[in-house]
Amino acid sequence: MKSSPDISADAATRPVLITGMPGSGKSVTGRVLAALLSAPFVDLDNLYLEVYDITPAAEIRKNGEASFRKRERALLKRALADDFSVIACGGGALASEDAMSLARRRGLVVLLEASLSTLEARLKDASNHPLLEGGKLGSRLASLLARRRRCYNLADVSVVTDRLSPMAAALAVREALAGYVLPRYRWSCYPPRFLRAGPGWQEFVELGERTH
């Protein structure tokens, strides 16, 4: 677990951004963390569909990754305008130095990590992941991670999610953020109602519709 003890004075009013590889648990962990912090939750994939009426995967397949990233960057800037929220980013949203720099200037970036074998087991195939198509899933994951690693390493904190439940992953993120002064985020130690009401909240991280 990586954590930065050096705190800036305005960290209290920053959004928390969740990034990481496909299969790391960004959406589900972000949603739980937001509930635990009593903060609004933004999923950039869902926001993309809402604004552009097309999923990220469909956009990449139709118009290419460059078109998608341009639109995604606009949505990232829009989401960062809210200084009190938890934002689940697509795995490539912060995979450029410019995007990561922007995110770290305006927010706190949390990297969720997992071993390649864990990512492959969670994803099972690349049917919802156009950037992982065209070869063996394990090899494609390794190649994608190699391209993104430099930027991922710039995250403020990191948490390994192998064999963690959504609740445990969110708690680990909260512990990693403990060195930051975040008075606007009200911490709750109780599982969110939507988790307690459904099966699996104590089980391993189950992924949503993350596509890229």
Does residue 12 or residue 79 have the better pLDDT? Answer: 79
Q: What are phi and psi of 27, to 5 degrees?
A: -65, -50
Least confidently predicted of 5-14, 83-92, 93-102: 5-14
pTM: 0.84
Residue 127's CB is within 10 A of a number of other CB atoms, namely 11
- Report d(CA 106, CA 177) in Å as an integer: 16
pLDDT tens digit string along 36-51? 888 999 999 999 999 9
92 with 212: CB under 8 angstroms? yes
| CA distance from start to end of the chain | 24
Q: Region 26-35: what's the mean pLDDT?
A: 92
Q: What are phi and psi of 2, to 5 degrees?
A: -100, 135
Coil, helix or strand at residue 142: helix
